[in-house]
Amino acid sequence: MEASAVLITRFEEAVSALGYRYERRQDAGGASGPDFLRMIDPDGAAFDLQTAKTDYQLLVLKRAVRSGPEGVLVATPEDLLIMKLIANRSKDRGDLLNLVERNGLDWKYIDQWAEIWDVTERLRAIRQLADG
């Protein structure tokens, strides 16, 4: 078993003991995708755990910021925006609209990665929607 899959399994076991259950798991053996686990707490709140397999995912982890009282690492708004553009799911549209309206975004970074991931048109469309 790959190291990240082992870590996700251990994590799932630990949080399951606290009453969480998993809602979705992406194939831990996938060659190109992340190892991914979505956990739900007893009240229905969800969080996602993802390990990095690509250079970009490693960069996202390096850039991550601490959030909340537990100090959990979360992706920056810029990286979250890029990942949602890449995923291109209809359920992300509202998140994308909120993200592009944030003050202080590093647009040079966003534009660079949008070009690398070939999602520049998606970014342009979301920005136009946000501008109304």
The predicted-structure confidence for 42-89, as pLDDT tens digits, reads as follows 888 877 777 777 889 889 989 999 987 777 788 999 999 999 999 888
**Within this chain, do residues 48 and 60 fall inside the same structural domain, yes or no?**
no
Q: Which residues of 74-99 are buried (b: 16+ CB within 10 A; e: fewer)?
A: ebebbbbbbbbbbeeeeebeeebeeb
Q: Are residues 86 and 105 in the same domain?
A: yes
Q: What is the pTM of this model?
A: 0.73
The answer on 67 and 16 residing in a single domain is no
Task: Provide the domain count of the chain.
Answer: 2
Round to whole Å and give the CA distance between 108 and 114: 10
- Do 46 and 68 reside in the same domain of the chain? no
- Mark whether 66 and 42 lie in a shared domain: no
The pLDDT-based confidence of 30 (bands split at 50, 70, 90) is low
Q: Are residues 18 and 62 in the same domain?
A: no
Domain hosting 87: range is 54-132
Distance CA 51, CA 56 (A): 12
Which residues on adjacent β-strands are paired with residue 67?
72
Look at residues 15, 30, 52 and tell me which one is the last residue of a structural domain.
52
Residue 67: CB partners within 8 Å, gap ≥ 6?
73, 74
Question: Does one domain contain both 60 and 116?
Answer: yes
